[in-house]
Chain A
Amino acid sequence: GENVEQHPSTLSVQEGDSAVIKCTYSDSASNYFPWYKQELGKRPQLIIDIRSNVGEKKDQRIAVTLNKTAKHFSLHITETQPEDSAVYFCAASKNFGNEKLTFGTGTRLTIIP
């Protein structure tokens, strides 16, 4: 089955700096990669996703990049703000989202004021 590895497990950045979280996947058939954000004590919520036919996708301060050859994808947050502090999970799915999600182990991001 699919295996998704996520790094780092914890990340602290100064407010205003950029943060990057990286994931690798094992199944070359995976083609849909969402990212979820979980604030303290809250439920995970989808923040952005990318399909394998796209190399990069942006939404305001958040961007995701995908390297199919290397089987890795990354989340980039620019101009970080205190409300970006949360646990972020990457995930992978096959059949453009029609099959089960496999999640990474999560990254706890702390923004230092």
Chain B
Amino acid sequence: EAQVTQNPRYLITVTGKKLTVTCSQNMNHEYMSWYRQDPGLGLRQIYYSMNVEVTDKGDVPEGYKVSRKEKRNFPLILESPSPNQTSLYFCASSLRDRVTEQYFGPGTRLTVT
């Protein structure tokens, strides 16, 4: 089954404790992206990657890191989480020339206390 998976689905952590949210897709998609969803603000892009070893900042990259060492994986790293990073995070993927048809993962709800 074609899918995008994220882990963990729910996470409660404390300020400053490094964490990684994993994202994996099995559709051989070149394009992968991370979004955060906050009430009233919609979906805001954090980082995206057009292919292996190619990453670019989105609209709200501060406080986040990503890497793309393999085509199927695109982890999101919070080196020192802060309460303003409490949010619902979505990973998405698509073919390189069909970025508008993105397949989203199930979401990760992160709470930073």
Contacts and interface: CB of A to CB of B under 8 A. Distances in A.
Interface of A: 1, 6, 9, 32, 34, 43-46, 49, 89, 91, 93, 97-106
A43 B42 contact: no
A55 B33 CA distance: 29
B90 A44 contact: yes
Contacts of A99: 99
A103 B48 contact: no
| Chief secondary structure at chain B's binding surface | loop
Interface string B46-60: 001000000000110
Most chain A Cβ neighbours within 10 Å, of B40, B41, B43, B105: B43
B44 interface: yes
A101 B99 contact: yes
A101 B41 CA distance: 15
Contacts of B70: none
A33 to B, nearest CB: 8
B100 A97 contact: yes
